[in-house]
C-alpha cells in the first residue's frame, strides 16, 4: 500500500513492535494524510497497521473516536511546545509579534520535519476541506488562543479584537497549508525560479505570519 509518490503507507518494522493502539494511530495518520478521512475505510487502516479486523473497534470503538485520538495526541504535543516557548519568551520581557509568530509556527514546523509530518499534512487537509473534524482541531487551540489573543493585543493595542481573532485563524490556516507539504511549497516556488530550502520555507512563513498579525487594521 503506497501513496502517490510510491512511499509505503504501512507500519515500519520498528512500529510493528509498538502496542496495537499506537500502530493503528500511525497507520490512520498516514492514510488520512494522503486520502482524507472520508477516503479511508477502517479495513484499510487495519490492513496498513497489520492488525486483525476487530482491532479498531476494540481499541477505539469507532472511526470517529480514532480520528479524535489522532488529532488530540499530537495537538497536545504542539500545545505543550507552544506553552514552553511562550513561557520562555515572557521571562525576557514583553512578547513581540515576531516572537508570537515563532511560538505559533515553530511547533508545527518541528512536527513537520520530525515524525509528525503525516499529521501536519492530515490537519492541513482537514483545515483546507472544512471537514467536520475541524471542530476538534479548533477545540485543541481554544485555550491557547486566549493566551495568544492577550499577547497580541498587548503587542498591537490598536488591533480590534475581532480582527486579532480573524488573523490568528488565518495564521493557523496558512501555517498548516505551507508546512503540510513543504516539498509542494518548494516546487511551487521553483516554478518562478526561486529555490528554497526547507529552513528558508519556514523562515519565510514566520515573516508572513508576523506581517499578518501585526499589519495595520483596516
CA distances from 157 to 71, 117, 150, 168, 215 (A): 33, 36, 10, 15, 12
pLDDT band at 3 (very low <50, low <70, confident <90, very high): very low
The larger pLDDT score, comparing residue 19 to residue 173, is at: 173
Whether 111 has a pLDDT exceeding 70, the answer reads yes
For residues 70-99, average pLDDT: 94
Q: Which residue has the cell 515563532?
A: 102
pLDDT band at 13 (very low <50, low <70, confident <90, very high): low
For residues 71-86, average pLDDT: 95
**HSE, side-chain direction, 13 A CA sphere, residue 46:** 15
Whether 11 has a pLDDT exceeding 70, the answer reads no
Instruction: At 214, give phi and psi (nearest 5°).
Output: -100, -10
According to the model, what pLDDT value does residue 5 have?
Answer: 46
Q: Which residue has the cell 521571562?
A: 91
CA distance 181 to 107: 15
Whether 87 has a pLDDT exceeding 50, the answer reads yes
Q: pTM for this structure?
A: 0.88
Tell me if residue 165 falls in helix, strand or coil. Answer: helix
pLDDT digits (tens, 9 = 90+) for 27-62: 999 999 999 999 999 999 998 888 887 888 888 889
Tell me if residue 2 falls in helix, strand or coil. Answer: strand
pLDDT band at 218 (very low <50, low <70, confident <90, very high): low
pLDDT digits (tens, 9 = 90+) for 186-197: 998 889 888 999
Amino acid at each position: 500500500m503506497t501513496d502517490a509518490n510510491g512511499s509505503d503507507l504501512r507500519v515500519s518494522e520498528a512500529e510493528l513492535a509498538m502496542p496495537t493502539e499506537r500502530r493503528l494511530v500511525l497507520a490512520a495518520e498516514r492514510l488520512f494524510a494522503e486520502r482524507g478521512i472520508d477516503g479511508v475505510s477502517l479495513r484499510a487502516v487495519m490492513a496498513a497497521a497489520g492488525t486483525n479486523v476487530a482491532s479498531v473497534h476494540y481499541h477505539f470503538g469507532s472511526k470517529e473516536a480514532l480520528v479524535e485520538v489522532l488529532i488530540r495526541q499530537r495537538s497536545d504535543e504542539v500545545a505543550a511546545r507552544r506553552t514552553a516557548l511562550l513561557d520562555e519568551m515572557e521571562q525576557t520581557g514583553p512578547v513581540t509579534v515576531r516572537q508570537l509568530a515563532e511560538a505559533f509556527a515553530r511547533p508545527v514546523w518541528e512536527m513537520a520535519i520530525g515524525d509528525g509530518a503525516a499529521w501536519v499534512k492530515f490537519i492541513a487537509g482537514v483545515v483546507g476541506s472544512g471537514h467536520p473534524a475541524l471542530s476538534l482541531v479548533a477545540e485543541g487551540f481554544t485555550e491557547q488562543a486566549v493566551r495568544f489573543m492577550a499577547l497580541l493585543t498587548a503587542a498591537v493595542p490598536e488591533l480590534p479584537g475581532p480582527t486579532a481573532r480573524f488573523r490568528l485563524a488565518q495564521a493557523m490556516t496558512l501555517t498548516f497549508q505551507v508546512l503540510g507539504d513543504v516539498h509542494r511549497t518548494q516546487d511551487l516556488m521553483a516554478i518562478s525560479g526561486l529555490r528554497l530550502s526547507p529552513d528558508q520555507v519556514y523562515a519565510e512563513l514566520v515573516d508572513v505570519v508576523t506581517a499578518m498579525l501585526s499589519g495595520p487594521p483596516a
